[in-house]
Amino acid sequence: MRLSKVFFITSIFAAFLSFSSAKATEPSDTDVIVKVNGHEITRENIDSTINMMLPLVTYHQTIPDAKYDEIRQKAIHTLIDNELIYEYAIANKLDKVDKKEVDKQLKEIRKKLPPGETLQKVLKRSNLTLDELKNTFKKNTVITKIRKSKAEEFKKNAETTVTEQFMKDYYNNNLNKFKEPERVHLSSILIKADPSGGQKVWNESKKKADGILELVKSGQDFAKLAQEHSEDPTAKDGGDMGWAHVGSISEEIGAAIEGVNTGEVVGPVMDMYGYHLVKIEERVPSTQKAFESLNIDKLKTELIEKEKKEAMKKWLKGLNDSAKVEYLEQK
């Protein structure tokens, strides 16, 4: 059974320019990573699935090994779930696909091929047959339809479950999720330091910031000093940074102003830009939102989506629990 091509073919055709150099091979004992009720998932399947997932999570940037391992595990679980979904479809006689749907996909593939390339040539070079490609499209179509129909079923159930009382119970059990975060009104004086300037440059910036802090302590007006010395765009406004939620402030400044009273000045606070003197102009503490003040339609939509996802996860877990899944790779 050449099951290894189920995702391999799809991903390769999605990136058809690289398909011409692909070498399709029969699964061997050495490259079979997982067996799902006897059906093989190979390293080739996993790598192809990862290649489809990577652009969505990395934006073409290099990712650390730990993140890659996480993506790889997700790819493996996706392949396992899809195999089990297909078996579910067969068992429930839901695996019928209109020939027109497959033909439409073949037509789309032909449109994407480069000038001078033909589907027959690509298949021959890759040691694949047209029937194998059609079967792959059929299988993937079935899996997609089952996922969609289950999602619709679970959403319909969730719409019945998520009543006003359900939302109130969720609110009461998750009060921390319904808080208006603390807000602060800050003013700042920034003395810049060139990150590549070396310790001497940073020491000079620190010394200048210390000197301005002494002027503040002597009673000079913070806003006027900001206009005269700050190298931040807010200098023209007397260093006024406006209002912000505490969680949206830089980690360094957020830590420095924690517990500081209104009217006080902290610093110099060092960050990647240089040294800051920060004045706490006003504070508004965190407050609990009343249930009546919430956007009920928004909350209902979010909870329906949450219940739908949890139901899908539970259903897939049931399929996994009743299956024989063998992990053959030793890490």
pLDDT in tens, 129-175: 899 889 989 999 999 999 999 999 999 999 999 999 999 999 999 99
d(CA 315, CA 153): 12
Specify whether the CB–CB gap between 58 and 21 falls below 8 A: no
Indicate if the pLDDT at residue 243 is higher than 90. Answer: yes
CB atoms under 10 Å from CB of 40, counted, come to: 22
Using CA atoms of 195, 201, 205, 211 in order, give the dihedral in degrees to the nearest 10.
170
**Residue 291 DSSP label:** G
Residue 64: the pLDDT is 77
CB atoms under 10 Å from CB of 180, counted, come to: 13
Of 232, 236, 246, 331, the closest CA to residue 276 belongs to 232
pLDDT in tens, 182-201: 999 999 999 999 888 788 99
Helices 130-161, 65-91: inter-axial angle, 10-degree rounding: 90
126 three-state secondary structure = coil
d(CA 266, CA 293): 36
Per the DSSP assignment, residues forming a β-bridge with 278 are 188, 266
CATH number for the domain formed by residue range(s) 5-163+309-327? 1.10.4030.10
pTM comes to 0.69
Task: Give 58's pLDDT tier (boundaries 50, 70, 90).
Answer: low
274-284, strands of its sheet edge to edge:
240-245, 183-192, 274-284, 265-271
Q: C-alpha 187: how far from its chain's center? A: 34
Q: C-alpha 266: how far from its chain's center? A: 36
The domains of the chain are located at 5-163+309-327, 182-285
Q: Which residues, 6 or more positions from 242, have their beta carbon under 8 angstroms from its beta carbon?
A: 185, 186
d(CA 50, CA 79): 11
| Token code pair at residue 65 | 């090994």
Specify whether the CB–CB gap between 235 and 226 falls below 8 A: yes
CATH number for the domain formed by residue range(s) 182-285? 3.10.50.40
d(CA 99, CA 117): 24
Task: Give 179's pLDDT tier (boundaries 50, 70, 90).
Answer: very high
pLDDT in tens, 2-51: 444 444 444 445 433 333 333 344 444 348 999 999 999 988 889 888 88
Alpha helix positions (H), 59-191: 65-91, 99-112, 119-125, 130-161, 164-173
**What's the whole-number mean pLDDT along residues 77-87?**
97
The length of the chain is 331
